[in-house]
Every structure is written in C-alpha cells, then in structure tokens.
C-alpha cells in the first residue's frame, strides 16, 4: 500500500477544492435564463417547428414532394402543438427578449385566445381528413388552417420587414 503524507493529502484536497470552487464561480458568472426567458425561447422553438411542419405539409399536399407517408406526422404535430399556443404566452413574457409578439397578445388576450382556438380547430380538422385519407379535402382543409394562422399573425405578430 502506498503511504501518502498527511500534508500532501491536505494540499491535494485544497487544490481540488479550489478548482471546484473556481468552476462554481464561473458558472455563477454565467447568467442563467429566467423562467420567462426560457418560456420565450421555448415558444419561439415551437413556432419555428410549426412553420416547418406547415411547409412540409404544403409540399406534400401540393405535390412538390412524394413523402405522402409523412403527411400524417406533420399534421398531427401541428394539431398537437397549436392547441398549446395560448399557454406559450403567459403574463410576464411580454417584455422578455426579442419577440415578434405584439403587446396585444396580452392586452387583448380574449381575442388572441379566440383566434388560437380557431387555428386549433382547423388543425384538428386537417388531421382528421388526412387520417381518413380524404385527399379531395386536403387542400381546402390546409388552406383553412393557413387562413387561421395568418389571421392570428396579422393581429398579434409584428409585421415582417421586407
């Protein structure tokens, strides 16, 4: 068995403790996001995913790509996430970070929730016609969802700069 002097163990322990404390200090220097900042970041990720699913569904529905077996996954993801839109805009997030959400989301929240509910219903309707394989209804149902999304964006989202 190797014998280590007590003084050596103390020095090594102190060094390990110093390195550990330095790591804690560095971590403390990094600003941890607030709950509100995390919600805004999550909200933006969800909205980006919805845009991706809308684009992918459009490409399939309008025959630009042949991934018809993927259409159900895209419209189901839309239906699953669109229903959560009102929860993604809690009070306290209206002044956090760079966001395209207008203050009206919070000041006219009842109308916002009404438009979000309309989009939810349109997403569910699209998911149902896709699940049923009723291809004649794909385009009208998709366009209805697109109109519902645009209506909400028109009233509650900052205009895109061209």
Q: 3-53, pLDDT tens digit by residue?
A: 556 655 566 555 555 556 655 555 555 788 889 999 999 999 999 999 999
Give the whole-angstrom CA distance, residue 86 versus residue 151.
15
The separation between the first and the last C-alpha atoms of the chain, rounded to the nearest angstrom, is 75
The pair of structure tokens assigned to 126 is 């699209």
Q: Nearest to residue 130, comparing CAs of 65, 58, 82? A: 58
Taking only the tens place, the pLDDT of each residue in 77-88 is 999 999 999 999
For 107-155, the pLDDT digits (tens) are 999 999 999 999 999 999 999 999 999 999 999 999 999 999 999 999 9
Beta carbons of 72 and 139 less than 8 angstroms apart: no
Q: What is the pTM of this model?
A: 0.77
Q: Which residues of 108-121 are buried (b: 16+ CB within 10 A; e: fewer)?
A: eeeebeebbebbbb
Is the CB of residue 130 less than 8 Å from the CB of residue 138?
Answer: yes
Among positive and negative, which fits the CA dihedral 69, 72, 73, 75? Answer: positive
């Amino acid at each position: 068995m190797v014998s280590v002097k007590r003084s050596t163990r103390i020095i090594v322990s102190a060094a390990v403790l110093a390195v550990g404390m330095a790591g804690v200090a560095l971590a403390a220097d990094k600003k941890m996001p607030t709950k509100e900042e995390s919600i805004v970041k999550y909200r933006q990720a969800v909205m980006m995913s919805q845009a991706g699913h809308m684009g992918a569904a459009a490409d399939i529905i309008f025959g630009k790509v042949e991934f018809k077996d993927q259409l159900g996954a895209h419209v189901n993801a839309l239906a699953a996430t669109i229903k959560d839109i009102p929860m993604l805009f809690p009070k306290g997030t209206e002044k956090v970070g760079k966001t395209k959400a207008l203050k009206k989301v919070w000041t006219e929240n009842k109308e916002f929730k009404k438009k979000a509910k309309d989009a939810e219903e349109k997403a569910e309707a699209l998911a149902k016609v896709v699940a049923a394989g009723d291809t004649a209804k794909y385009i009208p149902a998709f366009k209805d969802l697109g109109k519902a999304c645009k209506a909400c964006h028109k009233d509650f989202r900052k205009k895109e700069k061209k």
